[in-house]
Structures are given as structure tokens and as C-alpha cells.
Amino acid sequence: MAGASAQPAWAQALAAVGLLVASRAAVRLALWLYAAFLRPAKPLRRRYGAWAVVTGPTDGIGRALAFELAAAGLGLVLVGRSPDKLAAVSKEVTARHPGAGVRTFVLDFAADELAANVAALAESIRGLDVGVLVNNAGHCYPYARYFHEVDEELTRNLIRLNVEALTRMTNAVLPGMVQRKRGAVVNIGSGAATILPSDPLYAVYAATKICRSILAKPIC
């Protein structure tokens, strides 16, 4: 105590601020650990609805989420550009979860006919109790490059897949959720947009991923 009281006031103030910052970080970490590993799973079908629409479901995160949603008892509408890959995932989901209904819809989010294609998808799911939309389909650089090295085609595809496609998909599905007064929209983002202070070698990609995060907040 004598040592502490001997410290100048400014040092004690800095120590108090440091303690508050560390405590806040510890609380946030504890809450994240609870939410990620300890919190009981929500009854998704009862809470949100009977069906989930998943874009980009044939690989990676989208594929993993499709299987998790099927395991939770939701039917799936799998949306992607490859008929063969969609059929393969559909077959595997049905084999693992025989009770899960699975539909597929072929849609290339990079196509110029994006608006018409999404409208056709919206018509095909009309009447379904869609409770979850996973906006996973997206586009990235083939390799790191500076902003001035990003060509026109890559820029167009980044904006179309990461921003326009997500916006149109949300606009297609959200009205039904509003009408039923329940639903969840999951936008798959990137640490390039939320963790790093800047990402100079993936600038356009990071910017489009920030759009995903910003769009999600006002419609929560």
C-alpha cells in the first residue's frame, strides 16, 4: 500500500484506465466464449422459420452452414452457379439428414442478368416459410494487389457479388420475414473489413465486405 500511495497521481490514473480497458476486454472475451462455445443452441426452426436460403453452399463456410442448418431441422434452398456441385451437396445433405427438404436453384451472381435471376428465385420460393437467409456467395482477389492494380473486371465482380447480389437477395427474402414477423439474415463478412485497421493489398475487397456489415445493422 505504501508503494502504491507513493506513486504520482498521473501514474495511478493511467493504471486505473489500463485496468478498465483490460476489464472491458476480458468481459468481451468471456461473452464471446460463452456465445461461441457454451450458450445452448437456439431452436432455429421454431424461432425463425422452416426454410433457409443459402448462397454459395457448395464449398467452405456456405457448405458447412448448410449442413448445420439441416441438422437443426431446417429445409434448404441451395443457390449457386454450378448445377453439378449443387446436386452433390443436395445428395449429401439428404443422406446425412433424411428429413431435411432440399431444393436447388442455379444462379450466377456475376451474370449481367442478376436482377432478373434474383427475381426468378424470389418467385420460386414464394409461399415457403423462409426464416434464415445466409448471404455467403462472394468474390475475392486471385492474389494480393494494390488498389491501382485492380482491373475493371475484378472491380465489377467484387461489387456485383459482394454488394449488389447480397442487397438483391436480402430485398427478395426480407419482405416475407417482415410479414411473418420473424427471420434472420446472416451476412458472411471478413476480418479484412472488421479487424484490420486497413488492408492495402485487398482495398476494394475489404470495402465491399464493410458494406455487408453496414447493411446488416439497420435491418436487424
- Quickly count: other Cβ atoms within 10 Å of residue 182's Cβ: 13
| 121-125 long-range contacts, CB within 8 A, separation 24+ | 121/79, 121/169, 121/172, 122/172, 122/173, 125/51, 125/53, 125/77, 125/173
Of the candidates 141, 143, 202, 205, the residue annotated as catalytic is: 205
Give SS3 for 8: coil
Cell 431435411 found at: 100
SS (H, E, C) 119-184: HHHHHHCCCCCEEEEEECCCCCCCCCCCHHHCCHHHHHHHHHHHHHHHHHHHHHHHHHHHHHCCCE
CB 135 within 8 A of CB 212: yes
Beta bridge partners of 52: 76, 132
Is 205 marked active-site?
yes
Q: How far apart are CA 118 and CA 127, in angstroms?
A: 16
Closest CA to 76 of 113, 91, 178, 187: 91
Residues with catalytic annotation?
205
